[in-house]
Amino acid sequence: MYTTILTDLKDGIFTITINRPDKLNALNNAVFTDLDGAINEVYTNVAIKSAIITGAGNKSFVAGADISEFSSYNKEEAITLSKRGQFIFSKIENSPKPIVAAVNGFALGGGCELAMACHFRICSENAKFGQPEVNLGLIPGYGGTQRLTQLIGKSKSMELQMTAQLINAEEALQLKLVNHITTAENLIMKTTEILQLIQTKAPIAISKIIECVNTAVLSDSAYTNGKSGYEKEAEAFGDCFNTQDMKEGTSAFMEKRTAKFKGL
Ligand code: COA
């Protein structure tokens, strides 16, 4: 049924594995379609009590949006893409059942945004987090400008997005971006143990905790339909697609060379 993700349901825990290891599990349109379908399953399948999102292979959770798809997009298409990503990630964030990211390796750009949309994150010792979009003449477009700020605070969020620097698992723990670090081998087991514990609690109470905590963290306007910060992000993401620097940044990545930005 899915072509870019693997799913597995065991003891109420639904594991969704992004499965493009040769592209470090980059999020292309097909992944979005499959991920959306899998999240809909979390909402509707009564046998699913909680979910894990992880990446195939031992190198990467998700290394971002698929940059190779960006070259053909104009501003309007980029805004549509941003809103689609925001919509699916918001569905994850507002799921009435717990969804936890098990981050095995790179969680960059859209990968970091996907992990941040989950209710919390467990990572392996080799995990690396970052929002390196500025290297491409771009900004995060799937909620990253909002959720990174909510999770680690304004100053560090600014620095990480402006410098494109990656942080390791220890730094991510210090910044409260992740709740636990474990070995790569134990990552799914540790995540499963926590979800098993949660599954012994009252499901309706759990869903109310998710609702209330989301309300506390998101500003009034950022919650429900008046998502001003997210609207702004989608518009700004689209604006980047009208710049020469974005064409240069994405071409440079595909051609495996350093980008030369001109401020145009
Ligand atoms: N989009 C499309 N393809 C990607 C990708 C992405 N975000 N990230 C990695 N890939 C592809 C590479 O192009 C390469 O494909 P190829 O083998 O066909 O050439 C493959 O995945 C392996 O990646 P590679 O760059 O060779 O691995 P590495 O170990 O040298 O570097 C990273 C790993 C994560 C540092 C590097 O891949 C990277 O910087 N990726 C982009 C991160 C990013 O900017 N994300 C935000 C996107 S908005």
> Residue 125 maps to which CATH number?
3.90.226.10
**Ligand 1 lined by 130 (C-beta under 6 Å):** no
Neighbours of 137 (CB within 10 A): 22
Distance 24 CA to ligand 1 centre (A): 6
pLDDT of 226 reads 57
**Ligand 1 lined by 109 (C-beta under 6 Å):** yes
| For residues 172-184, average pLDDT | 98
Query: How many folded domains does the chain comprise?
Result: 2
**Ligand 1 lined by 151 (C-beta under 6 Å):** no
Which tops the pLDDT comparison, 124 or 231? 124
Quote the domain boundaries for residue 232. Answer: 202-254
Positive or negative torsion for Cα 239, 60, 62, 189: negative
pLDDT of 224 reads 46
pLDDT of 221 reads 47
Query: From the candidates 69, 93, 113, 231, which is the catalytic residue?
Result: 113
Tell me, yes or no, whether 168 and 188 share the same domain: yes
User: What residue's CA is closest to ligand 1, atom 30?
Assistant: 256
Reported as a single tens digit per residue, the pLDDT across 235-245 is 989 999 999 99
User: What residue's CA is closest to ligand 1, atom 6?
Assistant: 66
Q: Counting Cβ atoms within 10 Å, is residue 128 exposed (0-12), middle (13-18) or buried (19+)?
A: buried
Reported as a single tens digit per residue, the pLDDT across 48-96 is 999 999 999 999 999 999 999 998 999 999 999 999 999 999 999 999 9
Tell me, yes or no, whether 171 and 239 share the same domain: no
Tell me, yes or no, whether 139 and 228 share the same domain: no
Reported as a single tens digit per residue, the pLDDT across 185-232 is 999 999 999 999 999 999 999 999 999 999 887 754 444 455 568 888
Reported as a single tens digit per residue, the pLDDT across 92-121 is 999 999 999 999 999 999 999 999 999 999
Whether 113 sits among the annotated catalytic residues: the reply is yes
In the DSSP assignment, the letter for residue 206 is: H
Which residue among 150, 182, 197 closes a domain? Answer: 197
Would you say residue 82 lies in a domain?
yes
Would you say residue 263 lies in a domain?
no
User: What residue's CA is closest to ligand 1, atom 20?
Assistant: 23
Average pLDDT, the chain: 94
Q: Which atom of ligand 1 is nearest to the CA of 136?
A: 44
Which residue among 148, 169, 197 closes a domain? Answer: 197
